[in-house]
Structure 1
Amino acid sequence: MSLDHLSQEHQDKVIKIRKRVIEAIGRSMDLYGVTQSTGHLYGLLFFADKPMTLDEMGQEMKMSKTSMSTSVRTLLDLQMVNKVWEKGSRKDLYEVEYDWFQTFTDYFAIEWRKSVETSLQIFRKSIEEMQKLIQDVPEEDAIRRVLMEDQRKMEEAVGYYLWLNRLIDSLESGDIYQLIPKDNPRDV
């Protein structure tokens, strides 16, 4: 919503509050692996009363169109902003994705799933190779106990990654919100 209908004093106060929030958003964006300036852009779009073009964002942020384009592309890839169509506009318009729960889920489910799959593949192959080594070593050989302990540790790690897979499944299905409900913004 435009601030034009407010007195200059109230506009200044609102702008000060928004800047504080935008700064906090920028600082917290390292959680998603993005720069603080990209986080500031997200904050700008968060408070925008309408979708914005790259030119409008660049003007507000005092950033080059190239930097702005890179930041927007990052936010699009993270599904934190959406490209929208507006009748009569020939330029691309962008608006923020307000569902932070979905943004969190989309980002972390994808990132964690990649990591889990890679790690599980490595651990399973390593356990299989360790098992073959153990079979080749005589029972009374001290190295056999070391190999068996290594195998046990890797099997425990596999258990962790299988648990992490279930956590990811619960994020994607929304089941996690039964255990940890989303807060009602009115209760904050």
Structure 2
Amino acid sequence: MNELAGLTEEQRVKLLQTRRRVIESIGKNMDLYGITLSIGHLYGNMYFNQHPVTLDEMSQTMGMSKTSMSTGMRTLHDLKMIEKVWGKGTRKDLYEVVPDWHQNFADFFTIKWRKAVEQNMSVMNRSLKEIHTLMGQYTDDAAFMEVLERDKEKISEGLKYYRWLDRLIDSFETGEIYQYIEKEE
């Protein structure tokens, strides 16, 4: 089952060096997007596995506690970058990487963006309602009405942006984005 078993020591060392560079790069890249370096390294290590792994196996491979490993696996699973798979003859959860980096990118950002869009639109809509209420209460105060009108316009512009971002998110989720920016085959 060990893919490295048939290799010479020199081949194993060179291969692991090459993989370590890629794993480190993946970790640094994911760190830029708010995923800890260790979780990025976890994903990188799993990426090179030829078979599904358990928490115990990854904990041993990476020298991390089972608790830390569990947290990392849960994070990657929530981001849809790994998935649980069934393994004949084992009761332990097995995990493997979802190898489609395009889909990983789309899932990661759509999850983050969707949450931000919903939160920000909710706040802006609530603020617009408050502005409308204030406009109804202070109709005879021209200076205040002018300030309220400018704020209403600025918030409305913000809402346009979030509706656009919502459509962009939809294009990632449906795959429509790839009609405009094709995947390399």
Q: Normalised by the size of structure 1, how large is the TM-score?
A: 0.88
**Matches of 2:122 and 2:71, distance apart in 1:** 34
Conservation of the 8 A alpha-carbon contact between 1:32 and 1:107: no
Provide the residue aligned with 1:162 in structure 2.
Answer: 163
Provide the residue aligned with 2:6 in structure 1.
Answer: 5
Provide the residue aligned with 2:35 in structure 1.
Answer: 34
| CA deviation map 1:54-89 (0-9, x unaligned) | 221111111122221221122112111111112122
Query: SS state of the match for residue 57, structure 1?
Result: helix
The AA in structure 1 aligned to 2:51 is K
The AA in structure 2 aligned to 1:128 is K
Provide the residue aligned with 1:93 in structure 2.
Answer: 94
The AA in structure 1 aligned to 2:100 is D
Distance 1:2 1:159, change over 3 A: same
**Alpha-carbon deviation of 1:140?**
6.8
* Unaligned runs of at least 5 residues, structure 1: none
Conservation of the 8 A alpha-carbon contact between 1:46 and 1:96: yes
Kindly report which structure 2 residues correspond to 1:126-165, keeping only aligned pairs within 5 A, or say none: 126-138=127-139, 141-165=142-166
Provide the residue aligned with 1:24 in structure 2.
Answer: 25
User: What CA RMSD, in Å, does the superposition of the two structures yield over aligned residues?
Assistant: 1.9
Kindly report which structure 2 residues correspond to 1:37-116, keeping only aligned pairs within 5 A, or say none: 37-116=38-117
Provide the residue aligned with 1:117 in structure 2.
Answer: 118
* Unaligned runs of at least 5 residues, structure 2: none
Conservation of the 8 A alpha-carbon contact between 2:80 and 2:104: yes
**Alpha-carbon deviation of 1:177?**
0.8
Which piece of structure 1 moves more, 93-102 or 149-158?
93-102
Conservation of the 8 A alpha-carbon contact between 2:27 and 2:39: yes
**Alpha-carbon deviation of 1:48?**
0.8
The AA in structure 1 aligned to 2:143 is A
Which piece of structure 1 moves more, 77-86 or 41-50?
77-86
Which piece of structure 1 moves more, 175-184 or 113-122?
113-122
Query: SS state of the match for residue 43, structure 2?
Result: helix
| CA deviation map 1:107-146 (0-9, x unaligned) | 3222222221222122122223213323443567222222
**Alpha-carbon deviation of 1:32?**
4.8
Aligned length: 184
Identical columns (%): 52
The AA in structure 2 aligned to 1:168 is I
The AA in structure 2 aligned to 1:40 is H
Distance 1:132 1:91, change over 3 A: closer
